[in-house]
Amino acid sequence: MRKLTCALLCLLMILSTAFCLEGCKSREQQLSEETAYEDAQMNAMNKKVVKYINEKDKEGLKKLFSRSAQKDIEDLDGKIDELMNLCGDNKIIYVHSDTPGSSGSLTIQPLSITGEFLFKLSNGKKYVGWISFCDKDDENKENVGLKTIELCNGSKEELPEDFIWDGISSGNPGIFIHYIN
C-alpha cells in the first residue's frame, strides 16, 4: 500500500510539474500572439490613414475615427483639412511603426493600441507622430476606431528637447499637429 501511495504521489508531482511548465509556455506564446496581433493592427491602421491622406479622402479618414471620437472632437472636418494640407501635394512614400503598446488584451477589453510612426514624403521630408485607436470593445462599439492622430512636421531628431506629445499624453481624442519650423 505504501509503495502504491508513493508511486501515485510521484505521478501526481510529475503531472503537476508538466502542467505548470506547459502553463508558462502558453503564457509566453499568448504574449507573442498578442504582440503580433497589435503589430498587424497598427500596420493596418497606418496603411488606411496613409491611403486616405495620399488620396485626399477626407470622408474616408473621418470614418476611421470611432463614433464616440467623432462626437468629441471639436471641428473634426477642419482638423482633417489641416492634416491633409500638411503634406501638400507630396505623397507619403514610406511608413514605419515602432512596436505599439496597448491597454487591454485579446481577452480583456477594451483593447486600445497606441504606437509611434515615422513617415517620409515624396519630397524627402520626414515626419514623426502617434496614432491611438480602440481595436475591440464588445461592450461599447462606439469606442472602436481611431481616437487620436498626433503629428509633427519634422523628424524625431528635429524635435525640441522639451517637446511633449500633448494629445497622446492627455488621452483626449483628436488630430493634433505640431509645427516645429
Model pLDDT for residues 109-145, shown as the tens digit of each residue? 788 888 888 889 999 999 999 999 998 888 889 999 9
Mean pLDDT taken over the chain:
84
Which range of residues forms the domain containing residue 8?
Answer: 2-178
pLDDT at residue 174 above 90?
yes
Beta-sheet pairing, 174-178 with 145-152: parallel
- Which of the two residues, 98 and 121, has the higher pLDDT score? 121
Model pLDDT for residues 159-169, shown as the tens digit of each residue? 888 888 888 88
Per-residue confidence (pLDDT) for residue 33, from 0 to 100? 74
pLDDT at residue 72 above 60?
yes
CA-to-CA dists, residue 174 to 34, 43, 62, 79, 120, angstroms: 26, 20, 11, 8, 22
Beta-sheet pairing, 174-178 with 111-121: unpaired
Model pLDDT for residues 8-28, shown as the tens digit of each residue? 666 666 766 656 555 555 667
The model's confidence at residue 99, banded by pLDDT at 50, 70 and 90, is: low
Pair 97, 113: CB distance under 8 Å: no
Per-residue confidence (pLDDT) for residue 166, from 0 to 100? 84
Q: What CATH number should be reported for the domain holding residue 45?
A: 3.10.450.50
Structural domain total, the chain: 1
